[in-house]
């Protein structure tokens, strides 16, 4: 390997001064999805290196990790070449200070007392909990009595929490993991020499696509397995053929060189281009060809050309035939024939990937297909609603609603409504049946219109706060401070959350542009 461009960050007890969960320039349009390609396996340092290689800012990452209050280490990164592939290697270098054996509650306390955003804390604690559960199975003891040894050491805390922070920074909404190569031979750990995969790793990848071999030695560590199988799902038949627009690629280097391949973990970050998504063009705008049939009838024919942003002129000719005639036609200035009659009220659809404006820059809304799943139960413990909701979101739900209703025999019940992308419907249904007491559900496909959304970050007396913006035709029509950021800033500044909320909006008004960038 060739080494270059080394940078360091030091771990010490100083609390970070900024909110750790912010994102500045991560992609926001569409559904952010991360594909994990374990070229030579997966380990915690490979995860962190690949995320840094994707563009997660090193200074902000190290500042966030300093907020854990864990000392005794130095975090270092370097650019390396592995079998001709440039990758980022992240090393956690421990000093001579002794580190305690930590139990799960010690690690959870470190994470909970940090200034990390709530989603980061939740992800990291989930990963460590699965590690503890697997170790408990292997050693035949309770989770509370598990000494983490390697996985509870400083390097694993840094790898896991740093990875979760980076995923939140990039606003990753879904993680797909390709089959994991487990390696072969033996590995030395705190309990002696163990077969590969190590017992904890073997338990963590249970029911997950893997293959034996793929190289010598341990290719997937317990930490790497926990990150892959807790935060991701297999790249299975549900995701085969899924349209994906790759925007960034990151390589994280491992510690040992492989014989016949780069010793890297590759991450592909992109946006899912879901089938059925289209743009709604209003106020007499031009529409492009689309694959949906509607009840209103109109014909469009255009022979004018337009640019595609790459200097290539395109000549388009579109004709839409719909299910009924209304007996009169109207023609606009672009040569479109409309089979519905009022000028300026055209509601056509523009496939995603085309221009987001119609003729004259008219506004466009993003339409998408969603699956609506409903059920009503009267025999479920209401305390189970919180974990049920969390599992449904983990499975890919877009929204979960619970409403109290009166059911037969005068019983109070709960009406559950779940929205999800159609391709996630099967997984969501499995979780709904597993986590609730329902015996049956109702399901239907609906269409919903959405504004484009992005994020901006402002500074308050308690630190940075993100604001989510809703954008229509390039103009901001809605702006909302992120609650988790406001809550964290209120704690840091010892201020009421409503004051942080007010400051965030006031700070945005000072910098607000006329148009969204």
In the sheet where 244-253 sits, what is the strand order?
3-11, 73-82, 85-94, 244-253, 264-272, 31-37, 174-177, 233-234
- Residue 274's Cβ-side half-sphere holds a number of Cα atoms within 13 Å equal to 21
Topology at the third CATH level for domain 452-511: Ubiquitin-like (UB roll) (3.10.20)
pTM reported for the whole predicted model: 0.53
Q: Which residues contact 382 (CB under 8 A, 6 or more apart)?
A: 414
Classify domain 367-449 by CATH number: 3.30.70.1380
Are 78 and 5 within 8 A, CB to CB? Answer: yes
Q: What is the pLDDT of residues 224-276, one digit of tens each?
A: 999 999 999 888 645 555 677 899 999 999 988 777 789 999 999 998 765 44
283: left (phi over 0), alpha (psi -120 to 50) or beta: left
Q: What is the pLDDT of residues 275-301, one digit of tens each?
A: 444 434 443 333 333 334 333 444 333
Nearest-angstrom CA–CA distance, 25 and 466: 12
* pLDDT score, position 482: 92
For CATH 3.10.20.300, the residue range(s) in the chain are 452-511
Backbone phi and psi for residue 50, each to the nearest 5 degrees, phi listed first: -65, -35
Q: Is pLDDT above 80 for 30?
A: no
Nearest-angstrom CA–CA distance, 504 and 480: 9
CA separation (Å) from 198 to 56, 76, 214, 349? 31, 27, 15, 53
* Token pair in block for residue 435: 């986590």
For CATH 3.30.70.1380, the residue range(s) in the chain are 367-449
Closest CA to 125 of 157, 99, 153: 157
Q: Choose between 500 and 346: higher pLDDT.
A: 500
* pLDDT score, position 497: 95
* pLDDT score, position 453: 82
Q: What 3-state class would DSSP assign to 508?
A: helix
Closest CA to 361 of 283, 308, 277, 431: 283
Q: What is the pLDDT of residues 205-217, one digit of tens each?
A: 998 889 887 778 8
Are 115 and 492 within 8 A, CB to CB? Answer: yes
């Amino acid at each position: 390997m060739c080494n270059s461009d080394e940078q360091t960050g030091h771990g010490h007890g100083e609390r970070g001064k900024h909110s750790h969960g912010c994102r500045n320039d991560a992609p926001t349009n569409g559904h952010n999805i991360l594909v994990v390609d374990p070229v030579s396996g997966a380990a915690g340092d490979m995860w962190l290196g690949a995320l840094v290689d994707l563009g997660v800012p090193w200074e902000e990452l190290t500042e966030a990790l300093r907020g854990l209050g864990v000392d005794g280490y130095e975090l270092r990164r370097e650019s390396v070449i592995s079998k001709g592939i440039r990758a980022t290697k992240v090393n956690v270098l421990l000093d001579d200070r002794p580190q305690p054996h930590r139990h799960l509650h010690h690690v959870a306390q470190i994470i909970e007392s940090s200034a990390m955003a709530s989603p980061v804390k939740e992800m990291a604690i989930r990963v460590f909990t699965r590690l503890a559960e697997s170790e408990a199975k292997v050693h035949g003891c309770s989770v509370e009595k598990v000494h983490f040894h390697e996985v509870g050491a400083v390097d694993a805390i840094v790898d896991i929490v740093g990875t979760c922070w980076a995923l939140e920074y990039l606003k990753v909404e879904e993680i797909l993991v390709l089959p994991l190569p487990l390696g072969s031979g033996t590995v030395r750990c705190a309990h002696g020499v163990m077969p590969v995969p190590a017992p904890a790793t073997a338990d963590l990848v249970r029911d997950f696509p893997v293959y034996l071999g793929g190289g010598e030695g341990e290719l997937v560590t317990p930490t790497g397995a926990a990150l892959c199988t807790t935060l991701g799902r297999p790249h299975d038949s549900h995701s085969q053929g899924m349209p994906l627009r790759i925007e960034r690629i990151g390589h994280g280097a491992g510690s040992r060189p492989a014989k016949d391949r780069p010793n890297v973990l590759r991450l592909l970050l992109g946006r899912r281009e879901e089938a059925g998504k289209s743009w709604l063009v209003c106020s007499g705008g031009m529409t492009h060809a689309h694959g949906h049939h509607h009840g209103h009838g109109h014909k469009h024919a255009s022979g004018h050309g337009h640019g595609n942003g790459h200097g290539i002129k395109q000549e388009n000719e579109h004709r839409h035939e719909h299910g009924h005639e209304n007996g009169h036609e109207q023609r606009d200035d672009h040569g479109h024939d409309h089979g519905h009659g009022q000028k300026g009220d055209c509601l056509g659809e523009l496939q995603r990937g085309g221009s987001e404006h119609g003729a004259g820059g008219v506004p466009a809304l993003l339409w998408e297909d969603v699956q609506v799943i409903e059920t009503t139960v009267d025999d479920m413990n209401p305390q189970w609603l919180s974990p049920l909701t969390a599992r449904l979101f983990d499975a890919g739900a877009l929204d979960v609603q619970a409403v109290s209703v009166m059911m037969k025999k005068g019983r109070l019940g709960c009406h559950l409504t779940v929205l999800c992308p159609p391709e996630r419907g099967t997984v969501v249904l499995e979780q709904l049946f597993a986590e609730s007491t329902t015996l049956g559900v109702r399901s239907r496909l609906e269409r919903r219109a959405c504004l484009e959304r992005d994020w901006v970050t402002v500074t308050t007396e308690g630190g940075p706060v993100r604001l989510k913006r809703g954008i229509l035709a390039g103009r901001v029509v809605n702006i909302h401070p992120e609650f988790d950021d406001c809550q964290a800033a209120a704690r840091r500044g010892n201020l009421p959350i409503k004051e942080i909320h007010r400051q965030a909006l006031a700070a945005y008004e000072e910098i607000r542009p006329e148009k969204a960038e």
